[in-house]
Amino acid sequence: MMYKIIIAAFSLSFVVACSKRGFERAPVVDSQFSFSMVEKVVEISPRVPGTEKSGEFVRFLAEECSKYTASVTVDSFEDKTPVGTVLFQNVVAEIKGENDDEFIVVGSHFDTKIIAGIEIFSGANDGASSTGLLLAMMKAIKESAEIPPVTIRFVFFDGEECYDRYSKTDGLYGSRYYAETLSKSGELSDCKAVIILDMVGDKNLLLGLPGDTDPFLAKLAFSSAKHNNSLSHIAATKTIILDDHKPFQSKGVPCINLIDFDYGPNNVYWHTSYDSIDKISPDSLKIAGDLALGIIWAID
């Protein structure tokens, strides 16, 4: 994430009359399980790309994903960074839907930023919260009697954080690579939407939809929140966020970024040692997860 501007007032005009059947069918997240998964992610820290600790986490992540789907791929690649060539590893877990001709990407980054003076930065909210939540969303789907309306690719991105400053060649390594891979393979045309979750564990949760959010996905998000009685936790913003949705958005894929980029007073916890597990709320994780699952089930 790069920067934030101003949060605009929420408008009821964003709420649309979507199919209630879609929202009612959507699985719901177990808040305590979500939190337990975030705890496990935090235990394996720091998750700096190319390090032994990152490799340990990728192995844990692939094993955990395999509990909820038979299709798990670790996609390793090298890319040039300001500190030299680094090995990155995306983890992709696919759940088949009723419509298998198209798919939705649901993504989170798991890597942590290198921060001077902090030996072990856990990124409890910035990376771990959304990563643990995606695992809980997968578990919720498996345990429900519902088949997703469309195939879902849960993609855990490596290398979202930049080494120096965000640019076309620094930061978003995993998402840039995956978007380009889909483009080269011809699969990008089958990608119906991209839903990115990031920084979703804050106890004072307010998901601010960036100003360039796809309008239809924004409407679904507000409708999902209305169905789940969580409208107070979502707002339209004028914010422009540089995050893992951008490589897909630049290629014409409809995108939504569910992010609370107001972490602590004046965002003081972001990229500091204060970004720790005690700042994470199981209730916030559930709100974000249920909202995202509602979008998926209503998207058709």
| Terminal Cα-to-Cα distance of the chain (whole angstroms) | 29
The answer, yes or no, to whether residue 7 has pLDDT greater than 50, is no
- Say how far apart CA 128 and CA 112 lie, in whole Å: 9
Q: What is the pLDDT of residues 178-221, one digit of tens each?
A: 999 999 999 999 999 999 999 999 999 999 999 999 999 999 99
Q: Give the pLDDT band (50/70/90) at residue 9.
A: very low
Spatial CA neighbour of 294 closest among 28, 83, 14, 11? 28
Half-sphere exposure of 286 (CA within 13 A, CB side): 13
Q: What is the pLDDT of residues 218-234, one digit of tens each?
A: 999 999 999 999 999 99
Parallel, antiparallel or unpaired: strands 234-236 and 207-209: parallel
Q: Give the pLDDT band (50/70/90) at residue 300.
A: confident
Order across the sheet with 71-81: list the strands: 71-81, 84-95, 150-157, 99-109, 191-198, 255-259
**Whether the predicted model's global pTM rises above the 0.85 cut:** yes
Q: Give the pLDDT band (50/70/90) at residue 21.
A: low
DSSP 161-199: S-SSS-BTTBS-HHHHHHHHHHHHHTGGGGEEEEEEEES
Per-residue tokens: 3: 């920067």
User: Could you tell me if 69 and 94 are in contact, meaning their C-beta atoms sit under 8 angstroms apart?
Assistant: yes
Helical axes 282-298 vs 215-227, angle rounded to 10°: 120
In this predicted structure, which of 8-17, 119-128, 240-249, 262-271 has the lowest mean pLDDT? 8-17
> Torsion angle of alpha carbons 248, 113, 111, 272, nearest 10°?
-110
Per-residue tokens: 38: 């975030």
User: DSSP code of 282?
Assistant: H
Residues linked to residue 258 through DSSP beta bridges, in sequence order? 197
Q: What is the pLDDT of residues 153-171, one digit of tens each?
A: 999 999 999 999 999 999 9
The answer, yes or no, to whether residue 94 has pLDDT greater than 90, is yes
pLDDT score for 294: 98
In this predicted structure, which of 9-13, 137-141, 285-289 has the lowest mean pLDDT? 9-13
The answer, yes or no, to whether residue 34 has pLDDT greater than 90, is yes
User: Could you tell me if 115 and 271 are in contact, meaning their C-beta atoms sit under 8 angstroms apart?
Assistant: yes
What share of the chain has pLDDT > 70, as a percent?
Answer: 93
pLDDT score for 20: 53
Per-residue tokens: 76: 């390793």
Q: What is the pLDDT of residues 98-122, one digit of tens each?
A: 999 999 999 999 999 999 999 999 9
pLDDT score for 11: 38
| CA angle, 286 then 264 then 58, to 5° | 55
Q: Give the pLDDT band (50/70/90) at residue 239.
A: confident
Mean pLDDT, the chain, rounded, equals 93
pLDDT score for 8: 37
Sorted by sequence, the CB contacts under 8 Å of residue 12 that are 6+ apart come out as none
pLDDT score for 145: 83
The answer, yes or no, to whether residue 2 has pLDDT greater than 50, is no
The answer, yes or no, to whether residue 42 has pLDDT greater than 80, is yes
Sorted by sequence, the CB contacts under 8 Å of residue 188 that are 6+ apart come out as 179, 182, 251, 253
Per-residue tokens: 33: 């399980």
Spatial CA neighbour of 244 closest among 37, 13, 42, 1? 1
Half-sphere exposure of 205 (CA within 13 A, CB side): 29
SS3 127: helix
- With tokens 């643990």, the residue in question is 132
- Average pLDDT rounded to a whole number, residues 54-80: 97
Q: What stretches of 43-139 adopt beta strand conformation (E)?
A: 71-81, 84-95, 99-109
What share of the chain has pLDDT > 90, as a percent?
Answer: 91
